Chains A and B, each alone.
Chain A
């Protein structure tokens, strides 16, 4: 079974802090994704990556950056956290274009 592991289940950070969310997958998947989940809005794509050191902006990249130095690891960075970034963050990976996404359990981030 594919396992996607997000390093933290809950995080509380202060406004202006730099925040790192880590995600690791164990199935040698090419594609990795970061979504945020908010009630009534579903999941919105922040960034994705299709190869090591490659990244593409999703629908809501503002205020975020990403890093993929190794194939199995995809990090989401909040350069200067703000209260409107309080949300559930979900990492996912997939093998190919029509392959299903495999999700981690999510990180609930609160910015105070």
Chain B
């Protein structure tokens, strides 16, 4: 079945550091890929998405490129802020019925001033 694997956390960075969170997936067909973010005490919200190979999703300074050849969708940000501290989830929709998502295990990011 479909699966998503994220890099182990937690990740701790200083403000203005470069961020990479790795995500790889296994799926049949051509899935859509997503990054969701969960701030403390809140539900998940969509950060960015890509629906086909070589698409780049971007939002709030975050970027991720859908790489079919390496089955990856790594999240990057050039300069993180304290307000980026949250849990980040990679997810895929396998294109099957009803758009249910398969999630990775989540990566906790803490950014220090």
Contacts and interface: CB of A to CB of B under 8 A. Distances in A.
Interface of A: 4, 31, 33, 35, 40-45, 48, 50, 56, 58, 90, 92, 94, 96-101, 103-106
B97 interface: yes
Contact of B43 (A50, A58, A105): A105
Interface of B: 4, 6, 32, 34, 36, 41-46, 49, 51, 89, 91, 93, 95, 97-106
A60 to B, nearest CB: 12
Nearest to A97: B99
Most buried by A among B41, B43, B45: B43
In order of increasing CB-CB distance, the 8 nearest A-B pairs are A103-B43, A42-B105, A43-B103, A100-B46, A42-B103, A97-B99, A103-B44, A50-B98
Contacts of A45: 100-102
A100 to B, nearest CB: 4
Contacts of A97: 93, 95, 97-99
Contacts of A94: 99
Contacts of A92: 43-44
Contacts of B44: 43, 90, 92, 101, 103
A43 B105 CA distance: 7
Nearest to A43: B103
Nearest to A56: B98
Nearest to A99: B99
A100 B95 contact: no
Nearest to A33: B100
Given A97-B97, A99-B99, A42 B43 contact: no
